[in-house]
Each structure stands twice: as C-alpha cells, then as structure tokens.
C-alpha cells in the first residue's frame, strides 16, 4: 500500500464526488415522470434521456481509464467537477427534450469521470483491503439515492419545484471540487508496482476478465435499470413507488457499510452467487405482487443488488491486478453501456405494451390501467437476467475454488 498521509481526506472527497453522482440518479428517478408531463415526452423519449446518462458514463469512464495514468487522477477529477457543474446548471434551465438530453449527457460524463478516477484511487490507497473499501466507497451511491429520493418526496409534498431539487446538487459538487483541488494524489497502484502499459492491455484479454465483463452487463442492468425506472413502472401499482427505491437503496447502504465480514466469510464470488439469487427473488415479488408485498420485494431486491457493483470491481482488482485502472474502468463502462442500451430498448417496449393494453376490453382506453398492467411486465422480462447470473456465478464460484486448490497443491 502506498503511504499517503492524506488518504482519509482523499477517501472522503471521493465519497462526496460519488454522492453527487448518486444524487443525480435519485433525483432524476424521482422527477422523470414529471419531466415527461411538463415537456410532453413519451416513455420512449424519457427512456432515451435516462439512457443518455448511462452511455455518457461509459464514454467517460473508458476514456478516463485510458488517460488516468497519463494525466493523473487529480486532473481527471477536476474535469468531473466541471462537467457536473455544467450539467446541473443546464438541467435547471432545461426547456424541452434536447436541453434535457444535453444536460443529462454532461452529468453522465461527469459521473463516469468520477468513477474513472476514484475506483483506482480507492484501490490504490487501500490496496490491502480493496473489496471492502470499494464497498464502503460505493455505499455512497445508494446513500445518495436515498437522500435524493427523500428530497424529491418531501419537497414535492411542500410544493417546491424540480428545478430547486436539482439545484441542491451544486452544494456537494462545489465542496468535492474544492477538496480535490487542495489534496495531493498518489500514482495508481499499477504504476507504483511497475506493471507496464503493454502488460495492462494484455491482461484485459484474459478470458476470466472478458467473462467478468459479460457478467457486468447483467449485474448493472439488474441494479440500475430497475432503480432508475421503478417510479415509472410501478407508479400506477403503488401510491408510493418512489419510496420503493428509497427502501431498496437504504438496504444497500446498510449492506455495503457491513461489507467486510460478509466478503471475508463468503469470498467475493460467493457473495455474487447469493446476490443474484436474492435479486431474482426481489424482482419476482416486485413484478407479481401489490400492496405491502411490494415493499418486501424492494427489501429483498436491495439485499440482492447491494454488493453487485463494488464486489465485481473488487473481484477484478484482487484477482486480475495487472488490468489496473483500465480494468476497473472497462468494467464500469461495460455495465453502464449495457444499462443505456437496455433502458432505450425497454422505454420503447413499455410504450408498445401500454398501447397494446389500451386496446383490451378490460382496460377500455384507461391509460392508468394500461400502465398498471405494462409496468410489471417490464420487470418480469428483466427477471430473466439475475436468474442467468445466478447460474454463471455458481460456475465462477467452483472455478475459483478449483483454481485455489490447484495453487495450494502446487505450493
């Protein structure tokens, strides 16, 4: 582990930067339906806007991963600060589809740049405890969503508009920008350990890494698509659909806060098996129940997706360390790219389902009834993903156990 007397301050500033990322997610999830009404946008257009943040993210995280060792983590984070500030201001003054599209793209680029710098930063300053500290760092993603959705819920109750809700993100943005500008940064762990750039790029062609990239598609879609769209999909099923996201992410905060004993007891791959099973059960309940059982589903789903993102990164950091910053950032970029494609596809599919439901005699052109029927169907389609993941992670678990046993016998 590189000695850096400012590592605690660097970690706090990193958490604040991720807080802004997650606030943008939580607040956008809370106001997405309202933006559709105010600017007369279809679910397909809303899906494209929401997806913009997800494909702006991989664009930034992959480019950032390729240049972070060249320009340094500090400069990359100051770029993130600039894009966050621009994106937030443009959102506040948005007037329709294209202004929302551009502002969301800026926020997505900022979010990806934060991850491009902060994931290798945390892995570097806590190289002796990577998976646990990445879980602690990523605690602030669901943490910010809890804060964001509660802000939307309570500010809506007292009649404060969405523009003010978005503007609140400026405060932590300015604080993290100031902190990073004053702190000194180490080089990444890969550079410090003497692994060459060519070795790093060769390491990302490792079949195990490529397998993890594919699995990252599924874990990211399961967690982030569901969270971003839960208010839209279940608004007509529950009067408090946005609180389902608050509960789910609240469970994630607690889970990541206590990640250390869980990861050490079950191993990263063991945690991923359990996560996929719980995510599938939670999605099943969200798509097949109503009333209080929806909240039970949200709790179980939150337990499931809780460890997905940071444990996937931790697995790569621990088992494929030569992939360095590019490995971590390719993982994050792959996940967000998958979410962006899936979100755009499902936005259009949701519109098709609603239109088809409107033609049914029992719906009789009642738009609310049509949406009530269509939302759970989208969730049920998504349920297939964690079921496939559970099988894949079981295979990974036994592969890593066999690899460990072979290494022990060779020693």
Domain ranges of the chain: 7-403
Work out the angle between the directed axes of helices 324-358 and 43-71 (0-180°, nearest 10): 180
Q: CA 119 → CA 17, 168, 204, 332, 378, distances in Å?
A: 12, 25, 17, 9, 32
Read off the pTM. Answer: 0.80
Burial class (CB in 10 A: 0-12, 13-18, 19+), 39: middle
pLDDT (tens digit per residue) in 320-368? 988 988 898 899 889 988 988 898 888 888 888 888 888 888 777 787 7
Q: Say how far apart CA 87 and CA 89 lie, in whole Å.
A: 6
Determine the Cα–Cα distance for residues 11 and 100; give it in Å rounded to an integer.
32
The pLDDT value recorded for residue 4 is 58
**pLDDT of the residue at 58:** 81
**For 115-166, how does the pLDDT look when each residue is reduced to its tens digit (9 = 90+)?**
889 988 998 888 888 888 998 999 998 888 788 878 888 888 888 888 998 9
Superfamily designation of domain 7-403: MFS general substrate transporter like domains (1.20.1250.20)
Instruction: Express each pLDDT in 307-323 by its tens digit.
Output: 999 999 999 988 998 89
Using one digit for the tens of pLDDT, what is the confidence trace for 20-62? 998 887 787 778 778 888 888 887 788 788 778 777 778 888 8
Q: Is the pLDDT of residue 1 over 50?
A: no
Segment 51-87, tens digit of pLDDT: 787 777 788 888 888 888 888 899 999 999 999 999 9
Q: Looking up tokens 């490792």, which residue turns up?
A: 206
Q: What is the pLDDT of residue 408?
A: 65
Say how many C-beta atoms besides its own lie within 10 A of residue 7's C-beta.
18
Mean pLDDT on 277-300: 91
Q: Largest alpha-carbon pair distance within the chain?
A: 71
Q: For tokens 């569901």, name the residue.
A: 226
Residue 30 in tokens: 């809370």
């Amino acid at each position: 582990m590189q000695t850096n007397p400012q590592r605690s301050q660097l970690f706090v500033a990193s958490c604040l930067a991720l807080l802004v990322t997650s606030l943008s997610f939580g607040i956008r999830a809370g106001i997405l339906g309202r933006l559709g009404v105010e600017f007369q946008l279809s679910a397909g257009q809303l899906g494209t806007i929401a997806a913009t943040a997800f494909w702006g993210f991989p664009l930034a995280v992959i480019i950032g991963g390729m240049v972070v060792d060249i320009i340094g983590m500090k400069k990359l984070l100051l770029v993130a600060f600039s894009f966050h500030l621009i994106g937030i201001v443009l959102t506040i003054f948005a007037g329709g589809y294209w202004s929302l599209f551009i502002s969301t793209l800026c926020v997505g680029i900022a979010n990806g740049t934060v991850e491009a710098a902060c994931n290798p930063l945390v892995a570097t300053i806590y190289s002796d405890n990577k998976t646990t500290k990445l879980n602690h760092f990523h605690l602030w993603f669901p943490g910010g969503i809890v804060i964001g959705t509660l802000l939307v819920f309570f500010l809506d109750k007292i009649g404060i508009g969405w523009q003010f809700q978005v503007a609140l993100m400026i405060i932590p943005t300015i604080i993290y920008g100031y902190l990073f500008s004053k702190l000194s940064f180490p080089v990444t762990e890969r550079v410090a350990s003497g692994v060459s750039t060519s070795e790093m790029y060769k390491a990302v062609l490792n079949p195990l890494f490529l397998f993890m990239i594919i699995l990252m598609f599924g874990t990211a879609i399961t967690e982030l698509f569901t969270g971003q769209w839960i208010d839209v999909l279940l608004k007509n099923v529950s009067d408090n659909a946005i609180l389902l996201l608050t509960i789910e992410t609240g469970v994630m905060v607690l889970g990541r806060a206590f990640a250390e004993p869980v990861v050490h007891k079950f191993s990263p791959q063991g945690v991923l098996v359990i996560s996929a099973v719980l995510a599938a059960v939670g999605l099943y309940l969200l798509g097949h129940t109503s009333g209080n059982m929806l909240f039970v589903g949200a709790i179980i789903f939150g337990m499931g997706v809780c460890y997905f993102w940071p444990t996937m990164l931790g697995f790569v950091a621990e088992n494929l360390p030569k992939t360095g910053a590019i490995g971590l950032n390719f993982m994050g970029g792959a996940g967000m790219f998958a979410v962006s494609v899936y979100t755009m596809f499902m936005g259009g599919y949701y519109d098709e389902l609603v239109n088809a439901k409107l033609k049914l005699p029992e719906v009789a052109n009642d738009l609310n009834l049509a949406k009530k029927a269509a939302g759970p169907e989208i969730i049920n389609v998504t349920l297939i993903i964690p079921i496939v993941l559970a099988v894949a992670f079981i295979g990974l678990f036994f592969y890593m156990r066999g690899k460990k046993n072979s290494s022990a016998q060779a020693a």
